[in-house]
Amino acid sequence: MSWKTFGNAAVVGALFAIVAAACAPSTPAAGTAAPSPAGSAAGAPVRGGTLVVAIWQEPANLMPSYQSQTVQSVVLDTVVEGLLRATPAGEYEPVLAKAVPTVTNGGVKVSADGKTMDVTYQLLPGIKWSDGEPVTSADVKFTWQAWMTDPKVGTREGYDQISSIDTPDDLTAVVHYKAIYGPYPTRFGRLLAKHALEKESDYSKSDYVRKPLGTGPFKVTQFNAGESFVVERNPYYRVAGKPYLDKIIFKSVPSSTVAIAQLKAGEVQAMWNIGEAETADVANDPNIAVVVTPSPYVERIEMNTAVNKDGTDANSVHPVLGDINVRRALIYATPKQQIIDKLLLGKAQVGRTVLSIGWAAPKDITQEGYDPKKANDLLDKAGWAKGSDGIRSKGGVRAALTISTTSGNAYREQLEQVLIDEYKQVGVDLKIQNYPSSVFLSGSWATGDQRKRGSYDLSLYNSAPDIDPQSIVNQRYHSKNIPSPANGGVGQNYTRVKNAEMDKAIDEAGASLDFELRKAAYAKALKILNDQAVIIWLSERTDLTAYRKNVQGQGPGNGWRNFAHNTEEWWLSK
């Protein structure tokens, strides 16, 4: 019986959204509120109470080294800390370390030959794990070892640049890097507890995977898969009097629509990740506020410059998109602001580069705006002549393209419809071929990710860089990272863009420890990338969180981490 209705399941979300929207209370009231500054108007913080947060995806596990989902980091941010972390501005601040080690303060020492470096971390004294055991430099060393020896960890990036770690005393860890590694502050973002894990032969089979130890304001007390994830006050938390809340329950609900319904009904007091279009559902509810935080996610359309063919030759030239005039025309023909206003209710910024926020974001780089006339002029001049059906062609090649994205994403599917009309006006025929995200974004050569294989014209999706941009810029835009049959599909340069100057700038940025120099090098690389016109930067997305108004102390959001980045400050007013 169950399988019979399985096929209908896809319709569930859509139908529910429609009916729920129709049933929304029509009380006219205050609209979407700006984030309330900590403690404003609500008086002094009150200690105690349980906060219930709806999450509509579920953490599969809470092992810091296995992290792959955003929702994992939401729960982990209340529990597990590291040596340093990102500030809302996208810089670094110390957490368990006394200071951020830099060349200037002597924490980073480059070897005489300039090829290796040592980073010294001084730990804060008296820090304890949530089971009362002291945190020492041995935990720092163990964290690196665990990342490098456990075959089931996610990325080893950065940890694989470390040759050894010395622990001269309990509070000092000297990390020896085998190269100059600029993104070093991003490592050790979550420490693992040596005393709890060292006796395990396979970390993935230990209790730690569901109930990791940490030094954060809360500790995991219940992991009820499919139901709820409970964190309670950590008695050993280093800040006296905090956290204010006794407990946070992350309640697993089947969809964001259900989360909104429960938020309205008061069954939950906060909800993780409400969609831009969904904010309309709560805008008229006087008890609910939406907090908007800039996020590092940039929505883009990547254009394949090589021939659309399975396992394409990176040196081949796409019959249509190989012409930079066509690519530039498509950028002109894309009404970014209109898409943001209509489909994202204005809750996003027009995209400019792959780096939207953070220390390296080049704020002065932009991309050409909406101008269909310029698009038509460009194509006319380039010899793409309109046929009787209004579609252009040149040398017998029709300007017909296919766009792909993750199926079931309403925003992206509507966006594709908009683009069909817009591109038709400049004489480009657009077709849609979408795939489930586990197929479209499998990221694997072996399972046939079409971006990897080069068998696509236009790919619509988003991704976020880490706070240090080296990884994403290098992997996606350096010519050595073009996946091909020859290199076994290594790399994520899906547009197959090749530019020697850009490669050089990326290499420079990766090999330097000087933040100003690196920032300038990224700006140079990203400017060249925009000149190549291979990616349409649609929008810089935001993180949206909805709260009932009695939840206090959230402060400004942190796009680099998530809305739960400062739960020790949260409290409930009457």
Does the protein bind other proteins through residue 464 (CB under 8 A)? yes
Rounded to an integer, what distance in angstroms lies between the CA atom of residue 32 and that of residue 547? 11
Nearer to other proteins by Cβ, of 323 and 468: the residue is 468
Shortest distance, position 51 Cβ to other proteins, whole Å: 10
In Å, how far are 453, 468, 497, 507, 522 from 503, measured between CA atoms? 22, 17, 10, 6, 11
Asked if residue 491 binds other proteins (CB under 8 A), the reply is: yes
Among 489, 510, 553, 557, binds other proteins (CB under 8 A): 489
Query: Hey, what are 29's tokens?
Result: 């009231």
Residue 111 makes contact with other proteins by CB under 8 A: no
If binding is defined by CB under 8 A, does position 442 make contact with other proteins? yes
Contact at 8 Å (CB) between 224 and 244?
no
360 binds other proteins (CB under 8 A): no
Does 526 engage in binding with other proteins (CB under 8 A)?
A: no
Instruction: Label residue 408 left, alpha or beta by phi (over 0 means left) and psi (-120 to 50 means alpha).
Output: left
Beta-bridge partner residues of 119: 108, 175
| Half-sphere CA count of 422, side-chain side, radius 13 A | 21
d(CA 96, CA 240): 15
Between the CA of residue 517 and those of 87, 198, 468, what are the distances in Å?
21, 41, 14
Q: Which is closer to other proteins, CB of 114 or CB of 226?
A: 226
Stretch that binds other proteins, among 50-58, 273-281, 327-335, 534-542 (CB under 8 A): 50-58
Q: What is the DSSP letter of 551?
A: E
Tell me the window of 298-306, 367-375, 437-445, 498-506 that interacts with other proteins (CB under 8 A).
437-445
Provide the pairing of β-strand 172-177 with 117-122: antiparallel
Question: Residue 41 or 265: which CB sits closer to other proteins?
Answer: 265
Regarding 490 and contact with other proteins (CB under 8 A), the answer is: yes
Q: Does 156 bind other proteins (CB under 8 A)?
A: yes
What sign results for the dihedral spanned by CA atoms 285, 286, 287, 289?
Answer: positive
Residue from 55, 261, 355, 375 binding other proteins (CB under 8 A): 261
Which of 378, 464 has the CB closer to other proteins? 464
Does 145 bind other proteins (CB under 8 A)? Our answer is: no
Cα–Cα distances in Å, from 531 out to 99, 191, 328, 353?
Answer: 40, 41, 9, 11
In terms of Cα–Cα distance, which of 232, 321, 331 is closest to 536? 331
Interacting residues with other proteins between 182 and 211 (CB under 8 A): 204-205, 209-210
Contact between 543 and other proteins per CB under 8 A: no
Regarding 6 and contact with other proteins (CB under 8 A), the answer is yes
As measured in angstroms, the least distance from the Cβ of 253 to other proteins is: 5
Q: Does 44 bind other proteins (CB under 8 A)?
A: no
Based on the shown chain and the rule CB under 8 A, indicate whether residue 265 belongs to the binding site for other proteins: yes
For 206, the token pair is 């230990």
Q: Which stretch binds other proteins (CB under 8 A): 147-155, 174-182, 372-380, 562-570?
A: 147-155
Q: Which is nearer to other proteins, 1 or 41 (CB)?
A: 1
Q: Given the rule CB under 8 A, which of 167-175, 481-489, 532-540, 564-572 is the region that contacts other proteins?
A: 481-489
CB of 227 to other proteins, least distance (A): 4
The reply to whether 27 sits near other proteins by the rule CB under 8 A is no
Alpha helices in 290-386 (DSSP H): 324-332, 336-343, 372-381
